[in-house]
Chain A
Amino acid sequence: MELYSYGDHAAMIAFNQPAHVELTHLLLQLQSYAWQIPGVINALVGYTTILVEWDPVSADPELIMKNLRDWQSDGKKSRSTRHWQVPVFYGGSDGPDLNHVASYHHITPREVIALHSHRPYPIYCLGFSLGFAYLGDLPAVLHTPRRASPRIRVPKGSVAIGGHQTGIYPSDSPGGWHIIGRTPIRLTDPMQDPPVSYAPGDTIEFVPIQRPQDLNS
């Protein structure tokens, strides 16, 4: 664990190891700890780093840095983690890039769906937009380079693959990942506290569902 100043009112703690779920739980413990230090106003978790920000006027940077340096993991999870099943309409107009991902890997769209669904993806961190989860452990056979030019508008709920990552766009936004499906469920609600049900350390599983019109055929 290494601690660095980060600009005029923050510090970054970096763990020199690959991203993995145990490290995420360590970062979450450290996040809870950081929130308790007087003067700290924000603590953001990344894959292998945490950024701690303090009040630039009233906080004592040296004292906060000392507190962070003195932190010791108690080995306990900061909270219990949950597993979320997210229903997905794969392909068709909901997943316009499913065929591209399949042909890129010389497999069928059906195989992409089978490989992508029914497996637990750990949430490493939230960022980019409200509720956007950076998920890990996408099978290597599905790693697909990002689109050459990003879409101006990726519809809300889109499930996508970008490089070695997969994720869900919780709101309409620009995006450069390949869209392979869409979930009909609402992922965020800014009027609720918390506005996002899932959190880093949880796992997400994609569950293929049938469109109503497909059930009749």
Chain B
Amino acid sequence: MSDIVVINPGMLTMFQDVGRVTAEQYGASRGGALDFRLYSLALRLTESQTANDAVLEIVSGPVSLVPTNEILVAVTGANVRSPQGLIPDCTGFWAPANQPLVISRPKASRAYFAVHGGFDVQRVLGGRGTDFRNHFGGFLGRALKPADRLPILASPPPKLPHHRWRHCNLSESPNYSGPLRLRFTWHHLVNDFLPSQQDQLIGTTYRIDPHSDGMAIRLQGPPLNVRHGDEFLSQPVLPGTIQVPPEGKPIVLLAHRGTIGGYPPIGHVIIPDLWRAAQLAPGDSVSFVAISLAEARQITRLAYQTLATAITYSTPQGFIDP
């Protein structure tokens, strides 16, 4: 049996996978890896057979882990320091037994650590991810602690030869300088908002509020003076829904949101831009760009297809100084 032993879990590290959408009819949220793009790349770099392996989502580094056996691993969204030297972001590599891997602070807000075969954590309500609101899933329903031993599922050996690294043709890090443009479609009741309020949403550069988390991105900026009373009846909401609470500062819901929301929606951010939004940090800036439904569907479909057809290739190991 092969394990990963946690030496230092950083501020917040937990298991995630693609999420548990079928649990939402019972009131749980889907959860799952917030940056699905980096999650998917981590699976490809570790030759995942399932497209739904549990990985570690790292919100703050450095994180220090020790494999008990030599194993193919990958980190996306951060660099790794091993005893042999520095391993660049988005690399699949053979981690030697009993030697520490130190995953640096994520380059943006979230990094992912995957192992070949996937982690052997129990599937709960159809998912292996951590539901930190309801305290189930992942590793005992909680964030990792020092000395946790994370078991790995047995699987056939990977194809990657020892002493080679695996890369991905999509592995360039996105550029987060300047306001991130979030493309969205208007909500069908957008005319409950005045034209001037609609113009304000798309004409404002917002900043990320420090109270943002996996449930929602809260935005700072001039408030929209909404006229709705307290008559709004709660209704189901999805990740990506942009809600406007009474104080007028928009909220973009993420995968750990409650499934029912009590504030009027104004629009819906497209899925691939939510993956980028999940990498925003407090103080970063965003703006909203309205697009048509046809464009939204096409961009989203293409983004998934691009990930599904990402090509991996291998090179000799290339550590940068020890």
Contacts and interface: CB of A to CB of B under 8 A. Distances in A.
A92 interface: no
Contacts of B259: 44, 126-128
Interface string B145-176: 00000000000000000000000000000000
B296 interface: yes
B268 A8 contact: yes
B203 to A, nearest CB: 22
B53 to A, nearest CB: 19
A115 B223 CA distance: 41
Nearest to B230: A163
Nearest to B233: A47
Chain A, interface SS category: mixed
A134 B236 CA distance: 12
A129 B27 contact: yes
Interface stretch (A51-59, A72-80, A96-104): A51-59
Interface in B251-270: 258-260, 268-270
A171 interface: yes
Given A42-B22, A190-B136, A190-B137, A128 B258 contact: yes
Contact of A48 (B233, B260, B269): B233
B125 A190 contact: yes
A133 B259 CA distance: 12
Contacts, number: 134
Contacts of A4: 188
Contacts of A51: 235-238
A95 interface: no
Contacts of B237: 51
B301 A56 contact: yes
Contacts of A56: 271, 297, 300-301, 304
Interface in A96-131: 125-131
B133 A173 contact: yes
Nearest to A126: B27
A129 B234 CA distance: 14
Contacts of A9: 271, 297, 300
B270 A7 contact: yes
Contact of B268 (A6, A50, A127, A130): A6
A10 interface: yes
Interface string B261-302: 000000011110000000000000000000001001101110
Contacts of B258: 127-129
Contact of B236 (A46, A57, A131): A46
7 contacts: A9-B300, A46-B234, A56-B300, A57-B305, A130-B26, A133-B27, A190-B137
Interface of A: 4-10, 12, 19, 31, 41-51, 53, 56-57, 61, 125-134, 171-173, 188, 190-191, 194-196
